[in-house]
Amino acid sequence: MTNIAVCPGSFDPITYGHIDIITRGSHVFDEVIIAVLHNRNKKPTFTIEERMKLIKEVTAHIPQVKVDTFDGLLIDYMKEKKARTIIRGLRAVSDFEYEMQVASINKKLGPEIETFFMMTNHQYSYLSSSIVKEVAKYDGDVSGLVPDIVENALRRKFNHV
């Protein structure tokens, strides 16, 4: 049986922090599905298609990674994909309380599914997509926070070309 894990998120945009968690997860699981959430409560900078394209390009070197999208409950998506593990990155203690709540409701909805928490590499502990977008919006330097292709996409999105 293939050991499939799902790494869900908005990835708006994908950062080196995300890539760190995805890469490390790919060393533990046979297959890692990066599941891009279509969140109706957020107004994303990039479309689902743009995010998926960027993710595919920056993870192309990791053969265990697949990129997909989902809408609705993560647990339903997990069951559809026959995945048994959710990978979640933790940056700081402040992330833990929220992630614990989500993991608890997921366990109630899908008792057979486990959540695998990974501490991000300390060099990315401050990094979030929101911070990257804020810096990029004002034409700040986001090199070292996101891959070049993402940086270029941000420049185009915010008309800093």
Per the annotation, where are the binding residues? 10-11, 18, 42, 74, 88-91, 99, 124-130
Annotated binding site for substrate: which residue ranges? 10, 42, 74, 88
- Asked about 18 being catalytic, the answer comes back as yes
Instruction: Select which of 38, 42, 51, 94 is catalytic.
Output: 42
- Cβ neighbours for 57, distance < 8 A, ≥ 6 positions apart: 149
**Interstrand relation of 65-70 and 85-90 (parallel, antiparallel or unpaired):** unpaired
Determine whether 91 is an active site residue.
yes
Binding site for ATP: what residues are annotated?
Answer: 10-11, 18, 89-91, 99, 124-130
**DSSP H/E element including 6:** strand 4-9
Q: Active site includes 40? A: no
To the query of whether residue 27 is one of the catalytic residues in this protein, the response is: no
| List 26, 51, 84, 129, catalytic entry | 129
d(CA 55, CA 45): 15
> For residue 37, what is the DSSP state?
E
**Active-site residue identified among 26, 51, 84, 91:** 91
Of 123, 151, 155, which is closest to residue 138 (Cα–Cα)?
155
Active centre residues (catalytic): 18, 42, 91, 129
